[in-house]
Amino acid sequence: MTLQQFMNEALSPWMRKEGPDSDIVLSSRIRLARNFANVAYPILADPDQLEEIRNFFKEKYENQSFEEYKQFAFISIRDLSSVEKRVLVEKHLISPLLAKYSESAATLISENEQVSLMINEEDHIRMQLYFPGFQLSKALNKAFEFDDWLEEKINYAFDETRGYLTSCPTNVGTGMRASVMMHLPALVFTKQINRMIPAINQLGLVVRGIYGEGSEAQGNIFQISNQITLGKSEEDIVEDLQSVVQQLIEHERHAREQLMDQMRTKLEDRICRSYGVLEYARIIESKEAAQCLSDVRLGIDLGLLGNVSRNILNELMILTQPGFLQQYAKKTLTANERDVLRASLIRQRLELEK
């Protein structure tokens, strides 16, 4: 697997498969933070030691496979251009933070892009596993197996009382962040989401936009994850998150049914107009594109629009991000140039569906 292959396709191979409840839950993710027992954390470590960690991963894991996660590609962040870094961030393969820690930062990515391991981010090791649809328990089991596989060769910073020791006090204990990406257009449309978010926060869960901390909910896509990592087992944390997600799914489905019952024509009009914008626009900003894509996806899920694949939302949301557009153009683009290219790529992509 080469870097080029990760760069070419907006949609990761695992995203092409459908999972349970994938009309609403786009993906499930488990992230585990781990550290070497005897090396200071990246913020304070000696650069030589971080370089040693980088080399350790390159030597031991490059081109290795773990079960269905094959042929780990080893990529040093310092070898990447800023556009390439941005593309990996837009695909959620690395975090914006890793892209900044460039000196000894690196990543290992499996061929199907389902597993990515960040090296020398805030912690020495951040592994993340993605599953399509709503499959948190499965993702957790796989993450545990993967974690055990790594632990065969690594002595983790672990303490009986405090658990896995991490750089930030907010990750200590399990070091786990479980999250789901949800498409909730009907809850946004009916404004129910506004009163649901505070309620979800009260349960120790966090709601964010598609690109994590501080990002806006573009295209009615929300990321919901656990906040607490200490005192509860990973299974319990996942269970709590699952029950909230399950309720959100039901509310969203119910809101969709109500919209269909009470204002079908209005809804259809909006969806078809959005489709029209995507099909004919010559200049489109990312925010408008995201909103139209969300409408179109809702139209597909409700059976109001035929002949368009469901993946179009996930794919075009990523493909039309600034990094991807510039990667595609092979040059730096101004905001206006990006809006023109975005419109053109969307038109081409919709053309493919016909």
Partner 1 sequence: MKCQECHERPATLHFSQVIQGKKMEVHVCNVCAKEKGYMNYPEDGYSLHHLLSGLFNFDTSNIASAQGTTYQQVNELQCPKCELTFSEFKQIGKFGCAVCYETFNERLDPIFRRVHAGNTKHNGKIPKRQGGDLHKKKQVEALKDQLKSLVENEAFEEAAKVRDKIKALNQDQDKPEAGDQS
Please report, as residue ranges, which positions from 19 to 38 form the binding site for partner 1 (by CB under 8 A): 35, 37-38
Q: Are 223 and 27 in contact (CB under 8 A)?
A: no
Is residue 59 a known part of a binding site? no
Closer by beta carbon to partner 1, 48 or else 160 = 160
272 touches partner 1 (CB under 8 A): no
Least separation in angstroms between residue 60's CB and partner 1 is 15
Q: Does 122 bind partner 1 (CB under 8 A)?
A: yes
Site for partner 1, residues 135 to 154, rule: CB under 8 A: 144, 147-148, 151-152
Residue 111 counted as an annotated binding residue: no
Annotated ligand binding at 27? The verdict is yes
Choice from 133, 173, 299, 323 touching partner 1 (CB under 8 A)? 173
> CA-CA distance, 96 to 59, in Å (whole number)?
25
- Which listed range, 11-19, 173-181, 215-223, 338-346, lies at the site for partner 1 (CB under 8 A)? 173-181
The span from the CA of 216 to the CA of 348, in Å, is 27
- CB 54, CB 79: distance < 8 Å: no
Identity of the residue numbered 264: R
Q: By CB under 8 A, tell whether 82 contacts partner 1.
A: no
Size of residue set near partner 1 by CB under 8 A: 47
Residue 1 near residue 109 (C-beta atoms within 8 A): yes
Site string for partner 1, 218-247 (x = CB under 8 A): ----------xxxxxxx--x----------
Q: Using the rule CB under 8 A, is 156 a contact of partner 1?
A: yes
Intra-chain end-to-end CA distance of the chain, in Å: 31
Closest distance between partner 1 and the C-beta of residue 178, in Å? 12
CA separation for the pair 69, 67 (Å, rounded): 5
Which residue intervals of 152-231 are DSSP H helices? 185-189, 193-202
d(Cα 59, Cα 74) in Å, to the nearest integer?
A: 10
Helix then strand then coil, in percent of the chain rounded to 5, is 50, 15, 35
Give the other-Cβ count within 10 Å of 240's Cβ: 17
CB of 197 to partner 1, least distance (A): 11
Alpha helices in 176-233 (DSSP H): 185-189, 193-202
Residue 31 CA to residue 154 CA, distance in Å, equals 18
Residue number, 148 or 351, with CB nearest to partner 1: 148
Residue 241 C-beta: closest distance to partner 1, Å: 13
User: Residues marked as binding for ATP?
Assistant: 27-31, 92, 126, 177-181, 208-213
Contact footprint for partner 1 (CB under 8 A): 35, 37-41, 43-45, 122, 144, 147-148, 151-152, 155-170, 172-174, 176, 201-204, 228-234, 237
